[in-house]
Structure 1
Amino acid sequence: MGVPRVYCACPVCEEARSGGTNRRYRSLVRLEDEGTGTLLIDCGPDWRRGMEAAGLRQLDAVLITHAHFDHIAGLPEYADMCRWLGRRGTAYAMPDTIEEILVRFPWLSRQIAFVPIGGEPAFGGWKAFCWKVNHGKNGHAYAYRFDHALTGRSFAYCSDAIALSDEELEPLRGLDVLILGTSFYEEPYAFESRSVYDVREALALLERLKPGRTLFTHMSHDIDVGRDYGLPAGTAFARTGQTITV
C-alpha cells in the first residue's frame, strides 16, 4: 500500500505524511550500468513519481516479478510514455505473468513488447535467472538473481515470498547483495493468511543464506526506519531513492 496509508494516523504514517524518512513508494529496483542502460524491476503505481524523482525521461526495459497491482500498475503510464516518444517499450516476464497482465490491460501490447523469459537472459554483463517463489495466500511470484560475467558479483531481488522450500532458497545463496521483502517486524496474523516474510523470520533465514549484504524492502507502516531494531551488520531497511553499488 505504500507509506503513508491514506486511512492511517499511526506515528509512522504521520511522520511519512510530513515528508519524513518513512515515506515509501511501492517496491521497485532500477538497475543502471553501461551494459544494461536503464532497467527496472517492476513498474508499480508510484512509477511516475519515482521516474520524476530520479530525473528519468525514458528507460530501456522492465522486468516484472508478478502481476499484482503494486508491481504492474505503472505499466499504462509506461506505455503512454512510449507512445509519445514514438518508441516501443520492452517488458520481460514469465509467460503466465504476461498472460495475466494482458487480460487486465490488453491494449498495452500496442506500445510494449512483452517478452517471455526463457533460459537465463543477459542484460549487459549480467546473466539473469528467474524462478517461481511461494507467495503464501497470494499464490506465487517470481524472483530474480543476477550474476555478472566479468566481476563475479551477484545480487537477487525477492520482494514477495514466504515459507520458501530448500529448492526455492538455493538461488539466494552465495550473494553479494540480497533484496528481500518483509512487511512487518513481527507479523501478528495467522501464518496461513500471510504472503510475505516478517523481519524476524527473514533474519533467521539470513543465518542460512549468509549474503554479504541485505536490504529489506516491501515494508508496511509497521516498520519505522528511524528506529534502531538492532539489525545485524550488513542488514538494513531500504530507503526511498536509495542507491547502492554491487
Structure 2
Amino acid sequence: MQVTLLGTGDTAGTPVPRCDCATCERARETGQRRSRFSVHVKNERTGQRLLIDASPDFRQQFLDTDVALPDAAIITHVHFDHLDGLGNVYRLLDRLPVHAANETDPETGESVAETVRRRYNYLHQVEVFPETPFEPFEAAGFEITLVPVVHPPLLSYGLRVEGEEAVLSLTGDTSYAIPERSQTVLSGADLLLAEAIVPAAMCEKHPLGGRHPDENGVYRSFGTKHMTREGALDMAERLDAEQVRLVHLSHRYPAEQAFGPKLGVDGEQIVL
C-alpha cells in the first residue's frame, strides 16, 4: 500500500491567498504547502488506485505528483473542500465509481451518496455507489468500511482501508467525540490520518472555545467539529495506530510549529 498525501490543508489551505502571517510566508519560502484535503492510495498488489475525497485542487495535485489517476473514489462528506474536485474527471477518466454513505442527513434531507449523484448527474463518468456505514465494501481492491464521526451540522465519516499487506485509517473531519463503535473499526491501523486543524492553544480564539479537555485541561476539540493537534495525537494513542500523520491543518499553526514532526505536507508518500 502506497499512501500519497495529495492535500493536507483545511478549507483555506496554506498559504492562504494574500495572507502575510508568518506561517503562510514560511510556506511560500520553503515550498511546504498544504492544498485542500485529498489522499491517494495505491494497491500495490493489483495496481489499482483509490482517491479519498476530491479536493477542489484536484488538477494541481495530480500535476504536482507522479501518482496515476484514480480507479475509484470515496467522498466522506459534502463540504466543498472534500467534494468539488469531482468535476475534474471530465475528459480525464472514462469512468469513476464513487462510494459514499447512504444515511439520510437531517440537515440536507439526503445522504452523501444522494448529494454526490445530484451534484454530478451531468457527468456520465461519475457512477455513485451508496454504502451502509459499518458494512465493508470493495473498492480498488481494498476492503473499506465507513464509520460515522462528529462534524456538525452535517453527517461525516471516517474510514478504514484494509489491504492484504496493511491497514490505513482516517478519522475524517471530526471532533474528538468519535463514537466508540467507530473507534473500534478505526483501531489498530498501520497508519492513521488524523484531522488536527489547530493546536489546542488556539481554542481561546474560537467563538465557542474548546471542548473535551483532558485531565490537564488541554482541549481536544476546537469548537464543535474539529480536533486539535493534541486531540488528534491523543486519539492516535487511543486507536493504537502504528504511525500517525496529522492532516486538514490550517495556517493558524504558529510558524515554528507548522511543519514539525507528524504534521503532513502535500506530496508526502508513505509505503506500508
AA partner of residue 263 (structure 2): F
* Identity, % of aligned positions: 26
Deviation at 1:224, TM superposition (A): 5.4
Distance (whole Å) between structure 1 residues aligned to residue 51 and residue 60 of structure 2 = 14
Work out whether 1:14 is the aligned partner of 2:25: yes
Aligned partner of 2:8 in structure 1 is none
- 1:204-246, CA deviations, whole angstroms, 9 ceiling, x for partnerless residues? 2233222111110000002357638986xxxx01111000011
**Structure 1 unaligned runs (5+)?**
none
Distance (whole Å) between structure 1 residues aligned to residue 61 and residue 139 of structure 2 = 22
Aligned partner of 1:31 in structure 2 is 41
Superposition CA RMSD, Å: 2.4
Distance (whole Å) between structure 1 residues aligned to residue 58 and residue 30 of structure 2 = 18
Work out whether 1:158 is the aligned partner of 2:171: yes
Give the SS at the match of 1:207.
Answer: helix
**TM-score of the two chains, using structure 2 as the length reference:** 0.77
AA partner of residue 209 (structure 1): L
Say which of 75, 81, 95 aligns to 1:88.
95
Give the SS at the match of 2:158.
Answer: strand
Distance (whole Å) between structure 2 residues aligned to residue 120 and residue 40 of structure 1 = 17
Deviation at 1:141, TM superposition (A): 0.8
Q: Quick check: which one's helix share is greater? A: 1
Say which of 107, 115, 126 aligns to 2:142.
126
Asked if structure 2 preserves the Cα contact closer than 8 Å seen for 1:133 and 1:143, the reply is yes
AA partner of residue 35 (structure 1): T
**TM-score of the two chains, using structure 1 as the length reference:** 0.85
- 1:164-211, CA deviations, whole angstroms, 9 ceiling, x for partnerless residues? 122222112212111111100114222474311001122222332221
Bigger relative contact order, structure 1 or 2, given CA contacts below 8 A and separation 6+? 2
Distance (whole Å) between structure 2 residues aligned to residue 56 and residue 174 of structure 1 = 27
Work out whether 1:70 is the aligned partner of 2:116: no
Deviation at 1:161, TM superposition (A): 0.9
Deviation at 1:144, TM superposition (A): 1.1
**Structure 2 unaligned runs (5+)?**
1-11, 103-110, 212-222
Aligned partner of 2:15 in structure 1 is 4
AA partner of residue 178 (structure 1): L
Asked if structure 1 preserves the Cα contact closer than 8 Å seen for 2:192 and 2:236, the reply is no
CA gap 1:220/1:167 in 2 versus in 1, 3 angstroms: same
Give the SS at the match of 2:270.
Answer: coil
